[in-house]
Structure 1
Amino acid sequence: MVEGDGCHRVAAEHRKTLVGRKLKATSPNRRFRAGALAINKAGGVLVKIEVHGKNLFYFFGPDATRAMLVVHIHFGMAGAFAVYTGKEPETTANTRLRLTTADGSGPELAAHLSAMTVEHGRPEKLYAELAEKLGPDPLRADADVKKFQERCKTSKKPIGTMLMDQSAIAGVGNIYRSEVLYEAGVHPCQPANTLSSAELAGLWCTIVTHMQSGFRTGSIWGDREEALVYGRDQSACGGSVTSMEMGGRTVYTCATKQILDEARQPVAPPKGLVRSGTEHIKDVVPASVSEGRKRRTGEGLGVQHVALKDDATRAEALAWARERRQAAAAGRASAAKRKVSAKASGWEASQPRQRTAARKRPATGSRVQTRKRPAAAAGGRQQKLRKRPAALGA
């Protein structure tokens, strides 16, 4: 599966070649035909690209300043989004989206996308809802390590499971899980709530370092030539390696460096955590007061993690989502209040009831008494049948 650093590399390349260009969209295998039509209808200009973990978001609009549509992409196990210059290769049966330049402002390009998930929608809905469900991305400038620590401190799940939970931390895949846990000296089965804040902070540092290296080099091993523990019989430190299944995937553990402490008690979760997109571990990113001031004002914008700029899109989208939820809740409350008021005033009781019971038909063979229809009287009126008094005999 394409890991988070691979998605960031794709986005970085496309920011150089595609962002700001007017593109024409088609769907060669017709599985994303509606989305391609929506891209063209929105204007076809690629405004910007956002990445959250293993999810890419491409924003399209009529010009470079307005995003009217967002396309969400998740590569899955074997997706790709390649850009071609010069001679364009033939599309395949898996090519869901084809983008070609249509503005004539630069070299002619073509991009072919094959992915497990490709969907489109409004930025304030699709993007906001998905981004809100994802945990902090170690390669984003607004990553909040406190959120990761808090999720781990309140979960009894093994830390190996938590690292694969995209709502706890976004972008970490199976290979990175084994590698970072080995380097941090943490057993995959160690309950997450038994790790201290310092241990979780150290684990976060290790994840950031590994994924930064993978982003920079294009290799999941980073600057190394091989894995530390993943897929090996003997780890880098010489210890024996065992493998186990966790969450449907195989995780590798060093018997020497990663010891499971079953007697360790849960650590109380920290109180009063500050949720901030600019508060990070100082050993990994510049988190000084002056650097934070620069990021807030936009003056001399600093760089965090993998040189991704701070972007207000996510904060704005989340604010829009909150407003929509509040408006919907207010609408439901108003409707419920009107219903209670109508019931109290007796309005419902005055309305005619709908007849739901079906008229029974007599069973076959049963004797049914029928009333004879009276003969017509003079003037076309029917005479009423009256019971003859008993005193008037024959």
Structure 2
Amino acid sequence: MPEGHTIHRLAARHAELFAGDKLHAASPQGRFAEGAARLSGTVLDGTEAYGKHLLHHFADEVTLHVHLGLYGKFTDGSGTPPEPVGQVRLRLASDRHWLDLRGPTACELLTPPEVDALRARLGPDPLRADADPERAYARISRSSTPLAALLLDQSVVAGTGLIFVTEVLFRAGLPPTMPGRALTRAGWDALWADLVALMRLALAQGRIDTVRDAHLPEAMGRPARVDRHGGEVYVYRRAGDPCHICGTAVSRGDLVGRNLYWCPTCQAG
């Protein structure tokens, strides 16, 4: 599932393609035919990302809400749209560009109150200027739930997925199973600041890199990481490999149905 920086990049891309344009909308697959008919001929006022949720705000106070989930994907191009291939849930097109959406978990139209309700049920998004980290810490500081599980909960922090969570905890030297209430205020402030920095870097680069300069392949004389997710990381998907800092084998375990990665030495707490 795409992490939050990817959704922010999509919001910026779609605004670049279509903001201010009157769009034609269609649902070649047919599952969003009624919604597409409602959007067709309407001007896109702007786009917004909140965590892993993408919002297209159209004139007449209607918002397209998309959550890609595990399988959703956008493709776009210039000029005349090609013939639809596969299950295209939604196609948007202007005189200059087109955009196809396939396989999302959610593709729906929301009213302004429904958009407000969506925002209200999400935690602060580290990539948003209006993020309030105090709201997240209020939940974390009184919870006995493992810290990694709390950070993966989108109602606590929005936009964080397994890569950001495992990596920010490693960089902080915190065990992922530590109860949330054991995290000090200073610890939370540092964790939040690092999360903001890592996600902003990923937003700018289009990939997740979490390794500090001293631990990069060229600095350590080690091979670069080869993984479909790209990016240099400390523990994510490195189970059994030596930690870049201490050499201990990276551990893997299960938490809330997700694979979890950590260094038992560097994150001893």
TM-score range, shorter chain: 0.7 to 0.9
Q: Write the deviation string for residues 343-378 of structure 1: whole angstroms up to 9, x where unpaired.
A: xxxxxxxxxxxxxxxxxxxxxxxxxxxxxxxxxxxx
Give how far 1:175 is off: 1.3
Structure 1 residues 39 and 88, CA, compared in 2 at 3 Å: closer, same or farther? closer
Give how far 1:215 is off: 0.5
Which of residues 185, 189, 199 in structure 2 aligns to 1:211?
A: 199
Give 1:235's aligned residue: 243
Give 1:77's aligned residue: 70
Matched to 2:18, the amino acid is: L
Q: Hey, what's the Cα distance between the residues in 1 that align with 2:85 and 2:179?
A: 45
Q: Hey, what's the Cα distance between the residues in 2 that align with 1:240 and 1:198?
A: 29
Give 2:223's aligned residue: none
Q: How does the TM-score come out when normalised to structure 1?
A: 0.60
SS in 2 for 1:228: coil
Which of residues 83, 86, 100 in structure 2 aligns to 1:90?
A: 83
Contact 1:60/1:69, CA 8 A, preserved across alignment: yes
Q: Hey, what's the Cα distance between the residues in 1 that align with 2:68 and 2:52?
A: 8
Q: Hey, what's the Cα distance between the residues in 2 that align with 1:89 and 1:258?
A: 51
Q: Hey, what's the Cα distance between the residues in 2 that align with 1:34 and 1:87?
A: 23
| 1:288-327 mapped onto 2 (5 Å cutoff) | none
After TM superposition, which residue ranges in structure 1, 4 or more long, deviate above 3 angstroms?
86-90, 222-225
Contact 1:162/1:192, CA 8 A, preserved across alignment: yes
Matched to 2:243, the amino acid is: S
Give 2:13's aligned residue: 13
Structure 1 residues 222 and 255, CA, compared in 2 at 3 Å: closer, same or farther? closer
Q: Hey, what's the Cα distance between the residues in 2 that align with 1:245 and 1:91?
A: 40
Give 2:186's aligned residue: 198
More strand as a share of residues: 2
Contact 1:137/1:169, CA 8 A, preserved across alignment: yes
> Please, which runs of 5 or more residues in structure 1 have no aligned partner?
62-66, 261-394
Q: Confirm or deny that 1:24 pairs with 2:32.
A: no
Q: Write the deviation string for residues 307-343 of structure 1: whole angstroms up to 9, x where unpaired.
A: xxxxxxxxxxxxxxxxxxxxxxxxxxxxxxxxxxxxx
Q: How does the TM-score come out when normalised to structure 2?
A: 0.88
Q: Write the deviation string for residues 267-296 of structure 1: whole angstroms up to 9, x where unpaired.
A: xxxxxxxxxxxxxxxxxxxxxxxxxxxxxx
Give 1:250's aligned residue: 259
Matched to 2:206, the amino acid is: G
Which of residues 19, 41, 52 in structure 2 aligns to 1:54?
A: 52
| 1:1-394 mapped onto 2 (5 Å cutoff) | 1-40=1-40, 43-61=41-59, 67-86=60-79, 88-101=81-94, 104=95, 108-114=96-102, 115-123=104-112, 125-221=113-209, 225-232=231-238, 233-237=241-245, 238-260=247-269
Contact 1:136/1:170, CA 8 A, preserved across alignment: yes
Contact 1:240/1:256, CA 8 A, preserved across alignment: no
Contact 1:120/1:126, CA 8 A, preserved across alignment: no
Q: Hey, what's the Cα distance between the residues in 1 that align with 2:82 and 2:208?
A: 28
Q: CA RMSD in A?
A: 1.5
Q: Write the deviation string for residues 191-220 of structure 1: whole angstroms up to 9, x where unpaired.
A: 001110000111111111111111110012
Q: Write the deviation string for residues 247-278 of structure 1: whole angstroms up to 9, x where unpaired.
A: 11101010111015xxxxxxxxxxxxxxxxxx
Q: Write the deviation string for residues 49-88 of structure 1: whole angstroms up to 9, x where unpaired.
A: 1111000111111xxxxx4211110011132222211353
> Please, which runs of 5 or more residues in structure 2 have no aligned partner?
217-230
Contact 1:44/1:60, CA 8 A, preserved across alignment: yes
Contact 2:210/2:233, CA 8 A, preserved across alignment: no
Give how far 1:121 is off: 2.3
